[in-house]
Chain A
């Protein structure tokens, strides 16, 4: 194989990988900063975040209801706050005032995207050592758009 053919082949491989990785189907199962699933005494499934946590929701979701619970109070008894952004755009700050209460904010996320999934990033304003626990995140509920992509 000549050197030009090798370069062309290499470029084709890079382009193919880039196309595949632009919007891979497996991204839907990717998380970052979240511990494994657990269940609280009432049977609610949840995962702990650290100071931040990220997960993906289907891109045709018009809104997501995100169960959040602080468990540990914020600094000086203040509410624990969770900043929510979707695909790097700030969406809302959720204040968790009662450490023992599940808060279920409904967050509209509709925005045109060419991908299969949207990335949801959470930032928590306090973390509890030694296990570096942020807040409990339950299973998100989605409201699908009427017109699917």
Chain B
């Protein structure tokens, strides 16, 4: 039963996600997929492949009279007067095959080949959905050799519906999180194999994935720490593999080149802080750590209490997943500190805390460890099972409330939360 569940979980989730996606857009629960942050991530594609102008200028003149809407992260660089998109090109690179398919279909069906008509919108949305599902497939592949089918299935269900992962794979699929989730799962999977059997193909894949992770969200560079920290600090092992690492670094540098060239053309510098034109910035002296983890606004454990089991998992993990614990603790600690130091620590409107969605693949073995630990203890099994079930059901209910516009998208207070609790 569990074996069959694991086998068909990803396919079943893909079908459910697609059904949810169709419902969201046919019922009008959300505006067209290329919206809000999704616009800024996507806009490189029509600018480059339809307008032939990666500087974004031609697109801005054609659509917006030479400017961009305020909701975008695109501003004019003061020194050069050229457009700078605060978000890098990684999501657009991942969307490219979907975009090209949409462009071809638009021509075939005589729809506007303007970069924003029907097929383009849903190619961008379905790209996020696809990467979410592929990320789940990688999580399953990582867990299967180390845990029983029952534990793997429970972990997959918990990760998908006990957190905001399903939401960012469907409702807000053009945001960067489903794309990052896939990349970090792939980074983890390739790394797991590379530490066991290093190959030149594996080293090149590491370089490509590392570059893409940074190109989707610069701060996600912290996930690259998984390489030296995998199984503890492995500086000596890294030195022995310096040849492979040089290959990975060279490939990674090559993949970063388009972004560097774009930066240079727009600002005159190869490396820039593209967020400096936006109102938010880091204040490292007063991080809002408690708020990021526990607040009613966007607290990670308030909105996804299921992830408390990952902490239990870090304590009780054994074997393969035990080797992951030091890296997970360092990365999660750094991530929390960085998010808590950002002036907009809620990251705008979102369901739960979306900054943590990217790294859920690394939380998966810890969740699985907690479930495996509970499965072996008669007294713990009902407690952990009841808690996980309640957390998953609560998350699904709250996600539905968010989709229906019942829950505020930002700044939720305790009074609001109590008043709206499970109200439909």
A33 to B65, CA, bound (A): 13
Contact between A33 and B114 (Cβ–Cβ < 8 Å)? yes
A21 to B118, CA, bound (A): 13
Contact of A51 among B62, B109, B118 (CB under 8 A): B62
Contact of B112 among A21, A24, A54 (CB under 8 A): A54
Given contacts A52-B62, A54-B117, contact A129 B67 (CB under 8 A): yes
Q: Does B61 contact A (CB under 8 A)?
A: yes
Given contacts A32-B116, A54-B117, contact A119 B111 (CB under 8 A): yes
Q: Does A128 contact B (CB under 8 A)?
A: yes
Q: Using a Cβ–Cβ cut-off of 8 Å, how many residues does chain A contribute to the interface with B?
A: 26
Given contacts A51-B64, A52-B62, A127-B64, contact A87 B105 (CB under 8 A): no
Residues of A contacting B118 in the complex (Cβ-Cβ under 8 angstroms): 30, 32
Contact between B117 and A50 (Cβ–Cβ < 8 Å)? no
Q: Does B69 contact A (CB under 8 A)?
A: yes
Q: Does A132 contact B (CB under 8 A)?
A: yes
The main secondary structure of chain A at its interface with chain B is: mixed
A123 to B109, CA, bound (A): 21
Contact between A22 and B109 (Cβ–Cβ < 8 Å)? yes
Contact between A21 and B108 (Cβ–Cβ < 8 Å)? yes
Q: Using a Cβ–Cβ cut-off of 8 Å, how many residues does chain B contribute to the interface with A?
A: 18
Instruction: Name which residue of chain B comes closest to A30, CB basis.
Output: B118
Residues of B contacting A8 in the complex (Cβ-Cβ under 8 angstroms): none
A15 to B110, CA, bound (A): 17
Chain A 105-130 near chain B by CB (<8 Å), digits 1 or 0: 00000000001010101010011111
How far is the CB of A81 from the nearest CB of chain B, in Å?
13
Interface residues of B in 86-132 (CB under 8 A from A): 105, 108-112, 114, 116-118
Contact between A52 and B109 (Cβ–Cβ < 8 Å)? no
Interface centre among B64, B70, B105 (most CB of A within 10 A): B64
**Can you list 12 residue pairs at the A/B interface with Cβ under 8 Å?**
A22-B108, A23-B109, A24-B109, A32-B114, A32-B117, A51-B63, A54-B117, A121-B112, A123-B62, A129-B64, A129-B70, A130-B70
- Measuring CB to CB, which residues of chain A are less than 8 angstroms from any residue of chain B? 18, 21-24, 27, 30, 32-33, 50-52, 54, 87, 115, 117, 119, 121, 123, 126-132
